[in-house]
């Protein structure tokens, strides 16, 4: 069923945001015309990663922002000035897009620009609704001024909204290099923790413009976020806000397309699957720290020693510092260790042989871990990862290792890592009553993994979302 509504989805050029927003855009094409807008610098990479194929019903708009830097790399290198310059370029290009996108000459009674020589041309024509990433909320408010309803997409969990809504004009700031690497919830009856000026410059205008949005879309399922949503909805800015939990937003598997378009990745998948099939159920430990931060050389060595001491099969997605792996791993002749720079994470987590997931707890990885029903050992490094790790603890599906941030005062020991993995595996603490992390993880996997099933929460909220509310006055 298609309507005459044209939805413009606008993403920040970072794959942690692009992946869920693109999946949301593809789902919306079942009901409306959709254009997905992202920096031209990412469109080619999206094609290389098999994220786009000829069967997609959505149009792609390459934003000509001239970007020649990569956010993931800048963050990994802690290049604070580079990150700030990156967002300046991105938000400037968003302002132009929202000001010059074609709209009908009468949207809800507000006269706007027609598509013409002084506007940005879009394949699907005039824009009726905009979905923009939440960080661009203050820029997206231009849509409201032009008579176009806009929604904000929150790619992280709902707790991040609590952080954003806690920012005030007098919120203290510190230089970026001195700021806490983690985003933390405000503590009751305590002064707010200082944040970087860049984050304040991004979040404060967003909070002030939030009330103009027609709704907030969250990449999560309501079952996971009940407590956080309850707190969020108490805040004045949210008193009349519609909130749609439509996660987890994972790319749909199209195996034949992968084989045709990316033979290298297909070969990796085949090799990984063969290796996993040879291992006993629940014995494999899967280790991945995402695509941005990477363990330091010392951490790679310590983690490697801990994994070796466990005497279990290990599959580790490791891109950097391979030279610091201990000899126990590099000289392994029994196929106990499988080290690779890129891993098909969903395939690995869904395999019966995998028993534990050691993760940095980026939100996309956290959702994949939860949906797989596997217990998680959290190793948060920066930004929202501590909030996600705290959710893991609250749900009872795993444990968290401390002092793992990008600038720890003290390192983590081999014994701490071993103990954490043994705890979620049910191997430690003889004679003590231990939490059954595996069973709790399995139960949550049933909820999160089926949130998009017919009549389940995310499926129902998505159907409400695509009705799209009129402009907020």
- Residues 281, 163 share a domain: no
- Residues 211, 327 share a domain: no
Give dist(CA 83, CA 371) in Å, integer. 32
Q: Residue 55's pLDDT band (boundaries 50, 70, 90)? A: confident
CATH number where 357 lies: 3.40.50.2000
The predicted pLDDT at position 270 comes to: 94
- State mean pLDDT over 139-150: 97
- Residues 241, 153 share a domain: yes
The predicted pLDDT at position 227 comes to: 92
The predicted pLDDT at position 282 comes to: 95
Beta strands in 182-327 (DSSP E): 195-196, 215-218, 243-245, 284-288, 314-317
**Residue 256, in any domain of the structure:** no
Alpha carbon distances (Å) from 410 to 297, 379, 387:
14, 14, 21
Burial class (CB in 10 A: 0-12, 13-18, 19+), 201: middle
Q: Residue 155's pLDDT band (boundaries 50, 70, 90)? A: very high
The predicted pLDDT at position 113 comes to: 44
pLDDT tens string 424-441: 997 654 444 467 999 999
Q: Structure tokens of 434? A: 């231990």
**Residue 113, in any domain of the structure:** yes
Sign of CA dihedral 454, 459, 461, 462: negative
- Residues 68, 46 share a domain: yes
Which is higher by pLDDT, 419 or 50? 419
**Residue 253, in any domain of the structure:** no
Contact of 68 with 89, CB cutoff 8 Å: no
Q: Please give the tally of structural domains in the chain.
A: 2
- Residues 183, 84 share a domain: yes
pLDDT at 240 > cutoff 60: yes
- Residues 456, 389 share a domain: no
**Residue 226, in any domain of the structure:** yes
Q: Structure tokens of 437? A: 């992390």
| DSSP structural state of residue 341 | S
Give dist(CA 303, CA 325) in Å, integer. 9
42-51, 115-124, 134-143, 310-319: least confidently modelled range: 115-124
pLDDT tens string 197-228: 999 999 999 999 999 999 999 999 999 989 99
- Residues 243, 332 share a domain: no
**Residue 36, in any domain of the structure:** yes
- Residues 284, 170 share a domain: no
- Residues 320, 194 share a domain: no
Sign of CA dihedral 404, 387, 139, 123: positive
- Residues 185, 75 share a domain: yes
Contact of 300 with 321, CB cutoff 8 Å: yes
> Across the strands, what pairs with 244?
217
**Residue 254, in any domain of the structure:** no
Helices (H), 29-186: 40-48, 71-76, 80-100, 137-145, 159-165
First to last CA, the chain: 29
- State mean pLDDT over 389-395: 96
Torsion of CA 373, 374, 375, 380, to 10 degrees: -100
- Residues 169, 44 share a domain: yes
Q: Which domain holds residue 89?
A: 6-247+452-466
The predicted pLDDT at position 201 comes to: 94
Report the share of the chain in percent with pLDDT over 90: 71
Alpha carbon distances (Å) from 424 to 162, 331, 373, 415:
29, 28, 12, 14
The predicted pLDDT at position 2 comes to: 64
- State mean pLDDT over 133-161: 95
pLDDT tens string 305-350: 999 999 999 999 998 888 889 988 888 777 799 999 999 999 999 9
- Residues 461, 344 share a domain: no
* Closest residue by Cα to residue 22 from 158, 160, 129, 153: 153
Give dist(CA 162, CA 238) in Å, integer. 11
**Residue 80, in any domain of the structure:** yes
Specify the 3-state DSSP secondary structure of 454.
Answer: coil
**Residue 1, in any domain of the structure:** no
pLDDT at 232 > cutoff 60: yes
């Amino acid at each position: 069923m298609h309507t005459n509504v044209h939805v413009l989805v606008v993403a920040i050029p970072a794959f942690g945001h692009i992946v869920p927003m693109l999946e949301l855009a593809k789902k919306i094409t079942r009901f409306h015309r959709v254009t997905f807008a992202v920096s031209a610098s990412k469109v080619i990479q999206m094609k290389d990663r098999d994220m786009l194929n000829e069967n997609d019903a959505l149009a792609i708009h390459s934003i000509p922002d001239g970007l020649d830097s990569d956010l993931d790399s800048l963050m990994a290198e802690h290049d604070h000035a580079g990150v700030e310059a990156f967002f300046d370029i991105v938000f400037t290009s968003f302002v132009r897009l929202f000001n010059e996108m074609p709209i009908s000459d009468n949207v809800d009674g507000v006269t706007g620009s027609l598509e013409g020589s002084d506007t940005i041309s879009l394949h699907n024509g005039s824009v009726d609704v905009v979905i923009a990433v939440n960080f661009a909320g203050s820029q997206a408010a231009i849509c409201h001024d032009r008579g176009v309803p806009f929604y904000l997409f929150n790619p992280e969990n709902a707790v991040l909204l609590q952080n954003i809504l806690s920012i005030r004009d007098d919120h203290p700031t510190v230089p970026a290099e001195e700021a806490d690497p983690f985003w933390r919830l405000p503590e009751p009856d305590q002064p707010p923790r200082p944040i970087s000026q860049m984050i304040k410059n991004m979040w404060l205008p967003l909070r002030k413009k939030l009330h103009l949005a027609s709704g907030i879309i969250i990449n999560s399922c309501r079952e996971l976020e009940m407590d956080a949503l309850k707190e969020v909805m108490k805040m004045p800015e949210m008193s009349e806000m519609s909130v749609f939990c439509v996660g987890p937003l994972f790319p749909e598997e199209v195996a034949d397309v992968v084989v045709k378009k990316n033979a290298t990745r297909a070969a990796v998948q085949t090799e990984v699957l063969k290796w996993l099939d040879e291992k006993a159920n629940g014995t494999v430990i899967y280790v991945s720290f995402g695509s941005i931060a990477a363990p330091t050389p010392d951490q790679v060595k310590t983690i490697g020693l801990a994994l070796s001491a466990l005497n279990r099969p290990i599959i580790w997605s490791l891109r950097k510092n391979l030279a610091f792996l201990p000899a126990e791993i590099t000289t392994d002749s029994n196929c106990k260790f499988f080290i690779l720079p890129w891993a098909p994470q969903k395939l690995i987590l869904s395999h019966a042989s995998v028993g534990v997931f050691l993760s940095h707890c980026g939100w996309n990885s956290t959702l994949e871990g939860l949906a797989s029903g596997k217990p998680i050992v959290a190793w948060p490094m920066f930004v929202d990862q501590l909030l996600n790790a705290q959710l893991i603890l609250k749900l009872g599906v795993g444990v968290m290792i401390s002092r793992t941030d990008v600038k720890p005062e003290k390192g983590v020991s081999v014994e701490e890592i071993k103990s954490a993995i043994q705890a979620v595996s049910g191997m430690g603490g003889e004679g003590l009553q231990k939490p059954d992390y595996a069973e709790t993880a399995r139960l949550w996997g049933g909820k999160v993994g089926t949130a998009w099933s017919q009549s389940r929460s995310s499926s129902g909220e998505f159907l409400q979302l695509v009705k799209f509310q009129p402009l907020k006055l």
